[in-house]
Structure 1
């Protein structure tokens, strides 16, 4: 079977992602999932309340988030990339700090959005009633299932070259990643990615800190981490995992 023809932009991304993974990204034919979580955003989502039907139906929602507009507004306030993702609500995972999320379930067991929505509708319980359980959402970012597609989404490069961010400030990039990205032919892409490979101190205010294969979810992600990032004071993170 012939290899798919890729655009120069896709070739540039493949070269960059292969540097991140330290292996050729396009040679990996496995299935992968992309995830995003922000504890403060999760709290605000349940405090505001939202319709349960999109969860129960397993909807994939994206800009303008017509069926769950509060989510679109929160993404705009908390993240630069998230407002431009599509989110698989049914495959997203929900958990709380105690059994108030869904009484009768194991305390720390995550529940899928589809199951949570269905259960709450059946019990006639509104999402806002779960706010006291300190719920956290692991949003499943909808991608094509490839490793390339998952990293493309989480690095914000899925929107194309016209939506790359300049390196600002120029200081605060981890030295080894600064050197690695200097190998890329596309300097604008290199600077965009440098924002996501900052030192821990700089990442508290700018860009992100790359975690490698460390699990930022404290064990809630269902499969091993391939690559991950942490944002701010660790209140938000994103991760690529295997899908099974």
Structure 2
């Protein structure tokens, strides 16, 4: 008898009871402060190998702060960050990339005066030479970037810059990909393309932690999700359960409580 059940709405098989995969990332009682202001107030978050997990929340909830702390750009005030069971809180950001964690930041932050290829090469800085097979993988995922490989990043459209930011992160060969607001400011058709590509990246074996305000699309894509409010986890569970939760539907999907 198979150890899996029928695929869920994401198209991935649902593990049978007792078959959960190991935690790839764990945040334990994580606290992060900006001076006297406590932005993250002791949260617990877990991402299992192979999952897509979403952090939902309004502006100022602490979503981006959480990703920046995982990446080593911010140091926690208290708590632990474990990656593959080893503590990484306090590890410098450039070493975190080497451990297998890549991030596509909020606002894309491509290098505008460098070409598409040069931006992608920057994502592979930890290697002695740029792995051409990784460059081809990015171009296969984002054919538009192949067409614009010699174009300056600053002249790309918003959607193309988002593709480039994700592609640049993939060039570091991450086991865990952190995506911060990949749909921000993009037209609905481009958003649909970006989410389809995120699903494909995950299907190819990369675990994803996604920060997103487009709750409907993010939850449709994800295995599990956490809802952050003012630095605290208010709700967590399977994406399907949260998508059906009236509190989530009212706060993030624009539906009335009654």
TM-score bracket for this pair, using the shorter chain length: under 0.3
Greater fraction helix: 1
Q: Please report the TM-score for the alignment, with normalisation by the length of structure 1.
A: 0.26
Greater fraction strand: 2
